[in-house]
Structure 1
Amino acid sequence: MGQSISSGDYSWNRLLKWAAGFLLCACLVLLAPLPAWAATQIRLFDLTYQDCPAEIGAGAVTPGGTTLRANCYLIIGQAENKSGRTVVDADVFGRIYDANGNPVMQNRTRLGAIEEVPPGISEFQIRVSVPYDQPTPLILEQFKASGFTTKVR
């Protein structure tokens, strides 16, 4: 008629169910996608520029290996880091045009880097060299930065 389950069988079934549940959970954890190491976006605003001080003003533009005279400028502005963590080695991207609307750095939008951007709003500056014959005032457009909260090797 009916089969009775001994206490030994009951414990064994319970152990098997527990082990199966544990293995299922472990597999789900191991197969879950790892978090992405996404770059932190930094808003750059209130941009201006000024001539470099004499001690850092020596610079050259060297297309094709030929050294040309250049003007050195510091681009100065505000950086807004909303991440709540310090960002290091943030790459700065933007477009610089001369007074006639001609690009100062043809086919190049990465202009430099900010070593450290603390959470909140902070000041930044980067140095750029502009060919000597490009007329001023310079026009600064589409500036932004991005970096990581840890050093990238």
Structure 2
Amino acid sequence: MRLRFLAVLLVSGLLWLTSWTITPTAEAMTSIKLSDLSSEPCAGDENKGSVTSGDIRPANCFTIRGKAKNISGKTVVDADVFGRIYDANGNPTFENRGRVGTIEEVPPGTSDFEIRVSVPANQPAPLKLKQFKASGFAGKVRPYYYDDFESDY
């Protein structure tokens, strides 16, 4: 009986030790600091569009630019950008929504980024950008992209 207990204990210990060597590393969410934020109207035809959420309203396109600082040492992909965007009068442009876009890739170090947003045309510029931050992963989180598929058509 005692020998059986020791055998079970030994096997359990070996399984526990080997789990440390064969367990894949977890891809933790990485915070990205955003700075030097600015916004400007989109150029050319990009400025024409609409904000749709059941109804169609005229909208203006803006490009938000800034610096993204990644201190993780690994490239971060699909970094979601969160922040508050207010119009010139201090009114929110995205009611009840904090996510404003995605940065596809943020290499280690500091890099430039830009995202486009549509703002209802009745909200005056310039935009005020507050509490911006981003976070993403060191590997693809989404199972696939449609661009990854090659078509033979």
For this structure pair, what is the TM-score category when the shorter chain's length is used for normalisation? 0.7 to 0.9
Q: Distance in 2 between matches of 1:69 and 1:117?
A: 32
* C-alpha distance after superposition, 1:48-97 (max 9, x if no partner): 0111111422321113x211111100000000000001011111100001
Q: CA RMSD in A?
A: 2.5
Cα deviation for residue 99 of structure 1 reads 1.4
5+ long unaligned stretches in structure 1: 1-12
Q: Distance in 2 between matches of 1:116 and 1:31?
A: 32
Quick one: which of 16, 20, 27 aligns to 1:37?
27
Quick one: which of 132, 140, 146 aligns to 1:151?
140
Aligned: 1:79 with 2:78: no
Larger radius of gyration: 1
Q: Distance in 2 between matches of 1:45 and 1:102?
A: 22
Q: Which moved more, 1:26-35 or 1:46-55?
A: 26-35
Whichever residue aligns with residue 39 of structure 1, its letter is M
Q: TM-score, normalised by structure 1?
A: 0.79
Quick one: which of 50, 66, 83 aligns to 1:94?
83
Label 1:26 to 1:58 Cα distance change in 2 as closer, same or farther (>3 A): farther
Corresponding residue SS for 1:50: strand
Cα deviation for residue 31 of structure 1 reads 6.8
Aligned: 1:52 with 2:31: no
Whichever residue aligns with residue 122 of structure 2, its letter is D
Identity, % of aligned positions:
54
5+ long unaligned stretches in structure 2: 143-153
Cα deviation for residue 117 of structure 1 reads 0.3
Partner of 1:124: 113
Q: Distance in 2 between matches of 1:69 and 1:31?
A: 57
Partner of 1:27: 15
Q: Distance in 2 between matches of 1:91 and 1:106?
A: 18
Instruction: Determine if contact 2:81/2:132 at 8 Å carries over to the other structure.
Output: yes
Q: TM-score, normalised by structure 2?
A: 0.79
Partner of 1:137: 126
